[in-house]
Amino acid sequence: MSKVILVTGGSGLVGQALQHVLNDTESDPAFRAQPDETWHFATSKEADLRCPEQTRQLFEKYKPTHVIHLAALVGGLFKNMSHNLTFLRDNIRINDNVLSSAHDADVTKVISCLSTCVFPDEKGLRDLYPLTEQKIHIGPPHPSNFGYSHAKRLVDIQNHAYKQEFGRNYTSAIPTNVFGPYDNFDLRDSHVIPGLMHKAYLAEKSGTVFQPSGSGKPLRQFIYSRDLAKLFVWMLRNYDDVEPVILSVPEEQEVSIEYVVDSVVKAFQKNRASTDPSKPFDVKIEWNRAAADGQFRKPASNEKLATLLKESGVQFEFTPFEQALHETVDWFVKNYDSARTGVNKQ
């Protein structure tokens, strides 16, 4: 049976990674687009998914049998802290409209993209680490982004409600910290790795000090956007259950923010050595230790993912962190003028 796959948020970080993986003739054939698949990547220019009617029209236009739902109102820490209501309401609207339209159109499968921010704040819950798929709703999320977090949690609740009432196997993926080409590098509104990359780039360019925030000690699991895209393709073709799946590197691949900073600088040095060896990338690092660190760690288990991959017979290996950073830095430098940086380049 042929599949028509609609990807919402198709121009974003993960949507672009999906397009790369599906069309990359040098990648593993297991993750390339198949002859019986037609892929459509929708953007916000086609439909405002906060609007029920525009969402319905999008589904009528493409008539999907499957949906990978990536669209969301997203932002960095400070934007979340000051706009929790907006993030709550807009994301509830988006998610409800997509799931409702999918059900009305008799879509076979929907995979929604959540985030590890759906998990409870670490206070009093450290003995429950690592985080697993069963621990989403056992306590309140971190107060800094409770609006976004609760909106994403509701996707899991809606999935189970669609299963109970209509037998739908709509499900969700929970990635850890994602980074890669086409990320949002805006210093005011980016996540940790793209923000550090842009800071280092500007500091070296202007001859100023590169100042990462905090102590550098917190630990995080990062997943390369192109690895995540492969896992979405795998879920689409192999996973048929309402229960969510954490998409993450193993716990032992946690890295400190200090290691990330050093690795980002090395990636820029490698890029410069290959593009302009006469001018080495040289920047001084001074930590702004007065800035808050946030949660020290929030390790997530990928045991369920590893088991399911093995059972499905799909061979999958995560891209080494340093290689993924190098590829992202290379893309960022090459595409700086068109990348999302928040800088007026005119």
Task: Report CA-CA distances (Å) from 48 to 2, 9, 93, 170, 312.
Answer: 28, 11, 10, 22, 36
148 labelled catalytic: yes
Rounded distance between C-alpha atoms, residue 6 and residue 66, angstroms: 6
Rounded distance between C-alpha atoms, residue 163 and residue 4, angstroms: 22
Q: At what angle do helices 192-206 and 257-275 cross, to 10 degrees?
A: 50
For 150, residues 6+ apart whose C-beta sits below 8 A from its C-beta are 88, 141
For 189, residues 6+ apart whose C-beta sits below 8 A from its C-beta are 75, 76, 78, 79, 342
**From 148, 170, 182, 239, the catalytic residue:** 148
Q: Which of 95, 70, 330 is nearest to 175 (CA)?
A: 70
Only one residue has tokens 């704040």, namely 121
For 321, residues 6+ apart whose C-beta sits below 8 A from its C-beta are 222, 224, 253, 255, 263
Q: E-strand spans in the chain?
A: 3-8, 37-41, 66-69, 109-113, 171-175, 177-179, 219-220, 222-224, 245-247, 255-256
The set of catalytic residues is 148
